[in-house]
Structure formats: structure tokens, C-alpha cells
Chains A and B, each alone.
Chain A
Amino acid sequence: EAGVTQSPTHLIKTRGQQVTLRCSPISGHTSVYWYQQALGLGLQFLLWYDEGEERNRGNFPPRFSGRQFPNYSSELNVNALELEDSALYLCASSLLQGAMALHFGNGTRLTVT
């Protein structure tokens, strides 16, 4: 079974630019979650999508957005990048029903200069 895949693995952007990160969930998983892991801040919940709809959102500004496609893959978009957006962005997937564990990808390392 293929795991959660994320692309790209690394990205360098300039402050003010826009970036799109991509995630493919495990086959059969309908829920996709995005987390930000910045140095010293642990994992911060960004967004949760299921069946193409946004189910929950963390405490992040609107310039963080995303979507889920009919094949359950997902994109995370960040506009007007700021230096503090530099972080590892992790995507996870799960089955919605029941208290299922989240399965994580290896992340996209974003550096904003």
C-alpha cells in the first residue's frame, strides 16, 4: 500500500510570493489534513478536508487556503508569504469513520527568504 505522498519535498520562495503544496492520500482515505511544523512550535493544525469540503480550520490567517479534489488529493496554498511561514508542512490522511489514526507524509520543507 502506497503511503501519503507530498510534493515537492523542498521549496525556496521569496517573501510576498505564493506557493502551492500537493498531497496524495492513501488509497481509500477520504480525509486529508494539513499541519505546519515550525521550529520550536510543534505541530499546528491548519486544515481538514473530507469529501471535497473543508471540515475544520486551525487558527491561521485566510492567506492559508486549500482544496480537495474528487480523487481526494489536496492542495495547500499560501499567499503573500512571510518569513515566519518557513516550516515543514505535513499532510496526513485517514478514513473519516471512527477514531482512526492519521497517516502522515514526509512533508514539504518550505523556506521563505
Chain B
Amino acid sequence: AQSVAQPEDQVNVAEGNPLTVKCTYSVSGNPYLFWYVQYPNRGLQFLLKYITGDNLVKGSYGFEAEFNKSQTSFHLKKPSALVSDSALYFCAVRDVGRYGGSQGNLIFGKGTKLSVKP
């Protein structure tokens, strides 16, 4: 079964410092990987996705993620954190169907709360 794991419940970073939010995955076949962000009392906003191609994926708001097949990881990164980046971050993988084909729904990790202090 497809799954993602976010090993950290919370990440604390000082404003201006680089940030990393970790995600590892377990899939059968090629992974379709996503990062989303959720602000309080709001739905999820899409940040970026990896389907194929370059291992470094650039997304919204200055975020990027590095796909590492050998380590089955897809960590979210940003060179310089902002206080406004404080939010809940979710890693997700596209589900597979009964016969291995990619399905539409996503399987989400439990989320990592990012706190950026001034």
C-alpha cells in the first residue's frame, strides 16, 4: 500500500534560517509526490509536486523539494524562512488502483507543524 511518513510533528526555525520538513514514502511503482500547506481554519494549498524528471522541484512561495529515490525521501526545503511560513505542512502520495495504475486520490502524511520565530 502507498504511504508517506512525516517523522517530525513539529519543526522550529528562526526567521532567515533555512528550513527542511522531512517526508519519506513507500510505494509500488513510480511515486507521484506532493506537498501541501494548511493555514489555520483553511483548506490545503498546493505547493509543489514530483512526477518525473529533475530531482529538485520548485514550487510556490519559494519552496522546493528534493526527490531522492535511494532514500525514498521527498523533503521540503526553503533557503530562508519567513514568519508567515508558519503553518501545517502535509506530504502526500498518489494512491494506486487494484491493478497498479495510478488513481486520483492522495494519501497524506500526518502533517508537520512549522513554527518560524522572529
Indicate whether A and B interact: yes
Q: Chain A binding site: helix, strand, loop or mixed by DSSP?
A: strand
Given contact pairs A43-B44, A101-B46, a sample of 13 additional A-B residue pairs in the complex whose CB atoms are under 8 Å apart: A31-B104, A33-B105, A42-B90, A56-B103, A58-B105, A96-B104, A99-B49, A99-B94, A99-B102, A102-B34, A103-B46, A104-B44, A106-B41
Residues of B within 8 A of A35 (CB): 108
Interface 1/0 per residue, B35-62 and A, CB below 8 Å: 0100001111110010100000000000
Shortest Cβ distance from residue B49 to the other chain A in the assembled complex, whole angstroms: 6
**Count class of interface residues, chain A:** 20 to 34
Q: Is the CB of A33 within 8 A of B49?
A: no
Residues of B within 8 A of A4 (CB): 43
**Count class of interface residues, chain B:** 20 to 34
**A107/B109 contact (C-beta < 8 A), A50-B104, A99-B32, A99-B49 known:** no
Shortest Cβ distance from residue A87 to the other chain B in the assembled complex, whole angstroms: 13
- List residues of A (49-96) whose CB comes within 8 Å of B's CBs: 50, 55-56, 58, 90, 92, 94, 96
- Is A105 an interface residue, CB under 8 A from the partner? yes
Q: Is the CB of A94 within 8 A of B108?
A: no
Chain A residues with CB under 8 Å of chain B are 4, 31, 33, 35, 41-43, 45, 48, 50, 55-56, 58, 90, 92, 94, 96, 99, 101-107, 109
Q: Is the CB of B109 within 8 A of A105?
A: no
Residues of B within 8 A of A31 (CB): 104
Q: How far is the CA of A55 from the CA of B106 in the complex (A)?
A: 13
What are 17 A-B pairs at a CB distance below 8 A? Answer: A4-B43, A42-B109, A45-B95, A45-B105, A45-B106, A45-B108, A48-B105, A50-B104, A56-B95, A56-B104, A58-B105, A90-B44, A94-B104, A96-B104, A102-B44, A104-B36, A106-B43
Q: Closest residue to B33 on the A side, CB-wise?
A: A99
Our pick among A42, A50, A58, A103 for the contact of B110 (Cβ within 8 Å) is A42
Q: Is the CB of A106 within 8 A of B42?
A: yes
User: Would you list the 8 A-B pairs with minimal beta carbon distance, nearest first?
Assistant: A104-B43, A42-B110, A43-B108, A101-B46, A104-B44, A48-B105, A99-B32, A106-B43
